[in-house]
């Protein structure tokens, strides 16, 4: 099947809701080498029906990846997927690294993370409709590596690192669905960490005490939230 025929399938599937994604896919088709295109077609099947199904899956995954994010504090935003609240960490910290150094930057990020989690907890307790039937808070990012995961482990998050060598291993990726999400969002040329915690855990007295101890440690280092942004009880 030729590029022009595949592009016609894409054109036939375009709607107002997916127009940006379809245009993105059209551009990718134009850039594909012919041998690479034919290799993909052999894998998915060369008929119009199989190509259409493959494109529908691509559109679905890209829509999930570009799910709208809502800002929850200065450094974090959230999105909703199924029964999970996805917290999105800041990606470009280079300016903060230059001004504050790595240690103070990451401590500041972690303090804002605790604030974001507490805002979610309080909004859910107040009946915020988006959070009522949600069970978990989840994060995935190249920032979530050794130092950050050690911090999250002290707060009872379940964590995982996917090394780029693993993300480049087709068999490994096929056997680990979460690694496929990492590749869709960040590609396969960097290490990616994940962390998840149940919302009922952050409501517990024990977890709140752990949170308070961490805030105290940050405060003793002179790292505090501005008064106008502070929401942690």
Which of 62-66, 144-148, 152-156, 190-194 is predicted least confidently?
A: 62-66
Structure tokens at 69: 């994010």
Residue 85: Cβ within 10 Å count = 22
**Stated pTM of the model:** 0.69
**Of 20, 35, 65, which residue sits at a domain end?**
65
Is residue 113 within 8 A of residue 88, CB to CB? The reply is: no
**Of 65, 92, 119, which residue sits at a domain end?**
65
Read off the pLDDT of residues 103-129 as tens digits, 9 standing for 90 and up: 899 999 999 999 999 999 999 999 999
Domain assignment present for residue 231? The answer is: no
Average the pLDDT over 201-228 and give the result: 91
What's residue 144's pLDDT? 82
Q: Which residues of 206-228 are buried (b: 16+ CB within 10 A; e: fewer)?
A: ebeebbeebbeebeeeebebeee
Domain assignment present for residue 232? The answer is: no
Domain encompassing residue 172: 70-220
| Whether residue 195 is found in the same domain as residue 128 | yes
Domain assignment present for residue 150? The answer is: yes
| Whether residue 55 is found in the same domain as residue 118 | no
Task: Answer yes or no: is pLDDT of 66 > 60.
Answer: no
Task: Answer yes or no: is pLDDT of 26 > 70.
Answer: yes
What's residue 224's pLDDT? 92
What's residue 47's pLDDT? 82
Collapse the DSSP code of 187 into the 3-class scheme (helix H, G, I; strand E, B; otherwise coil) and give the result: coil
The structural domain count of the chain equals 2
Read off the pLDDT of residues 157-199 as tens digits, 9 standing for 90 and up: 999 999 999 999 989 988 888 888 888 778 888 899 999 999 9
| Whether residue 85 is found in the same domain as residue 42 | no
CA distance 5 to 29: 11
| Whether residue 133 is found in the same domain as residue 212 | yes
| Whether residue 153 is found in the same domain as residue 192 | yes
**Of 42, 65, 88, which residue sits at a domain end?**
65
What's residue 65's pLDDT? 57
Please name the residue that has the structure tokens 């309080």: 122
Give Cβ neighbours of residue 141 (< 8 Å, ≥ 6 apart). Answer: 88, 89, 91, 186, 192, 193
Domain assignment present for residue 233? The answer is: no
| Whether residue 48 is found in the same domain as residue 76 | no
| Whether residue 140 is found in the same domain as residue 60 | no
| Whether residue 120 is found in the same domain as residue 175 | yes
| Whether residue 116 is found in the same domain as residue 208 | yes
């Amino acid at each position: 099947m030729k590029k022009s025929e595949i592009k016609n399938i894409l054109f036939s599937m375009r709607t107002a809701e997916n127009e940006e994604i379809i245009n993105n896919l059209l551009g990718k088709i134009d850039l594909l080498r012919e041998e690479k295109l034919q290799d993909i077609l052999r894998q998915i099947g060369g008929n119009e029906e199989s190509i259409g199904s493959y494109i529908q899956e691509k559109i679905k995954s890209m829509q999930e990846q570009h799910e709208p994010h809502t800002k929850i504090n200065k450094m974090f935003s959230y999105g909703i997927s199924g029964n999970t609240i996805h917290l999105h960490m800041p990606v470009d910290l280079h300016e903060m690294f230059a001004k504050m150094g790595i240690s103070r930057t990451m401590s500041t990020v972690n303090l804002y993370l605790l604030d974001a989690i507490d805002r979610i907890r309080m909004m859910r307790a107040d009946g915020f409709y988006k959070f009522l039937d949600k069970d978990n808070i989840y994060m995935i990012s190249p920032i979530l590596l050794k130092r950050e995961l050690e911090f999250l482990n002290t707060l009872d998050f379940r964590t995982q690192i996917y090394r780029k060598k693993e993300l480049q291993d087709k068999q490994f990726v096929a056997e680990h669905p979460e690694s496929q999400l990492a590749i869709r969002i960040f590609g396969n040329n960097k290490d990616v960490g994940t962390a998840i915690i149940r919302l009922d855990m952050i409501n517990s007295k024990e977890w709140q005490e752990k949170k308070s101890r961490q805030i105290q440690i940050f405060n003793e280092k002179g790292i505090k939230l501005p008064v106008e942004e502070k929401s942690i009880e």
